[in-house]
Amino acid sequence: MDAILLQILNGLDKGSAYALIALGLTLIFGTLGVVNFAHGALFMIGAFCAVTLQRILNLSFELVDETQTDFLGNPLKVKTPYVEAWFGPDIGGSIIDWAVPLAILFAIPIMIGVGYVMERGLIKHFYKRPHADQILVTFGLAIVLQEVVKYFYGANPIQTPAPDALNGVVNLGAAIGMDIVYPVWRVVYFFFAVLIIGGIFSFLQFTTFGMVVRAGMADRETVGLLGINIDRRFTIMFGIAAAVAGLAGVMYTPINSPNYHMGMDFLVLSFVVVVVGGMGSLPGAVLAGFLLGVLESFASMNEVKSLLPGIDQIIIYVVAIIILLTRPRGLMGRKGVMEE
């Protein structure tokens, strides 16, 4: 029982990353009808926003402290981050410690900007071209973004720890008398994902802006004829989708040290998630993300693996293939979306 609960937690946790990326992909696909192969790169840029903020906060100056000596007997050079010098060691230290959560604030404007520039500068020109061209140009863009990040940050993974307070483990089963020990940060990640997903859905559901966007997703032309500048709103939605991918990346950094090709690794999986959920269906993307995450973590249980060796490696793809062949529109796909 404990093991099963643990796997469900693991799955929800993995699934929340898939769901966030797939949600962004679907937002872009549903509004602009563009298949964005650079979405994984946006996830990666988000992660590197956290790295950058951490580096900025750690910028420091050196002081020679005459009272202390190093092991050679020379006066010790003490490095003090500017933040600690300005706010005092206590507040400054905790600001540095909380770099990753703070990076959320840092990443949102950057990601929206990146998304805006991407849509206006490049993707806008590809609406009328075939889907194959859209895939190819965004694939090229993904390579370029990845290589740019590699140039500035190097090829090795960069450690970005979570704040100390959130770094340990917690026993989630204590209340119900069970023993389920789980890393705190992963719990935080899950709730963060739920928060973002809820935020996006309520934004689309309960605001006028969201209503117009949903109307545009259903029938872009008619909304345009009503005198609404739907293109501008879709551009903003692209920025929001980029921000969602970026935030997923920011929060993922303590779980997995970011490197330049993390986006590509996630991209393939999140495409599979989108297809399973149904192209253009937001609830489908979220549902499929969590579903595939849970399935994947169950498949990696030893009992299952001894029954079907290697199933953990391929379960997602097998499910995707079965679903595409039996329910071509995906779990919650709408009729008429991407059916040439």
Partner 1 sequence: MFGLDKKDTSKLIIVACLALLAPFILNPFPTDSALAQFNAGYPDLMQRFVIFGIFAIGFNILFGLTGYLSFGHAAFLGVGSYSAVWMFKLIGMNVIPAIVLSVIVAGLFALLIGFVSLRRSGIYFSILTLAFAQMSFNLAYSVLTPITNGETGLQLTLEDPRILGVSATADGSIPVTNLFGLEMRSTFEMAVGPWAFQFNAGYYLCALIMLAAFYLSIRIFRSPFGMMLRAVKSNQQRMNYTGLNTRPYTLAAFVISGMYAGLAGGLMASMDPLAGAERMQWTASGEVVLMTILGGAGTLIGPVLGAGFIKYFENIFSKINDNVLHTWFSFLPDGMEDAVVFIIHPFIGKGWHLTLGILFMLVVIFLPGGLVEGGQRIKGWLSRRKAKDGGKAAGETNPAE
Residue ranges in contact with partner 1 by CB under 8 A: 35, 122, 125, 129-133, 135-137, 139-141, 143-144, 146-148, 151, 264, 268, 271-272, 275, 279, 309-310, 313-314, 317-318, 320-321, 324-325, 328, 338, 340
Shortest distance (Å) from residue 232 CB to partner 1:
23
DSSP, collapsed to helix, strand or coil, labels residue 168 as coil
Are the C-beta atoms of residues 115 and 42 closer than 8 Å to each other? yes
Shortest distance (Å) from residue 53 CB to partner 1:
23
| Residue that has been written with the tokens 């020990």 in this structure | 181
Q: What are phi and psi of 333, to 5 degrees?
A: -70, 150
Are the C-beta atoms of residues 107 and 258 closer than 8 Å to each other? no
Length in residues, the chain = 340
Give CA separation, 181 vs 11, 172, 295, 330, in Å: 15, 6, 20, 35
Tokens of 92: 């400054």
SS3 sequence of 233-247: HHHHHHHHHHHHHHH
Are the C-beta atoms of residues 62 and 154 closer than 8 Å to each other? no
Compute the distance between CA of residue 195 and CA of residue 232 in angstroms, rounded to an integer.
Answer: 26
Shortest distance (Å) from residue 17 CB to partner 1:
17
Shortest distance (Å) from residue 256 CB to partner 1:
18
Residue-wise over 310-331: b if at least 16 C-beta within 10 A, else e? Answer: ebbeebbeebbeebeeeeebbb
Q: Which is nearer to partner 1, 170 or 264 (CB)?
A: 264
Shortest distance (Å) from residue 317 CB to partner 1:
4
Shortest distance (Å) from residue 280 CB to partner 1:
11
Shortest distance (Å) from residue 178 CB to partner 1:
32
Shortest distance (Å) from residue 151 CB to partner 1:
5
Compute the distance between CA of residue 75 and CA of residue 3 in angstroms, rounded to an integer.
Answer: 55
Shortest distance (Å) from residue 45 CB to partner 1:
15
Are the C-beta atoms of residues 46 and 247 closer than 8 Å to each other? yes
Tell me, what amino acid is at 212?
Answer: V
Q: What are phi and psi of 58, to 5 degrees?
A: -90, 0
| Residue that has been written with the tokens 């149904």 in this structure | 278
Residue-wise over 179-189: b if at least 16 C-beta within 10 A, else e? Answer: ebebbbbbbbb
CA 102 to chain centre: 16
DSSP, res 165:
G
Q: Which is nearer to partner 1, 67 or 326 (CB)?
A: 326
Q: Which is nearer to partner 1, 29 or 234 (CB)?
A: 29
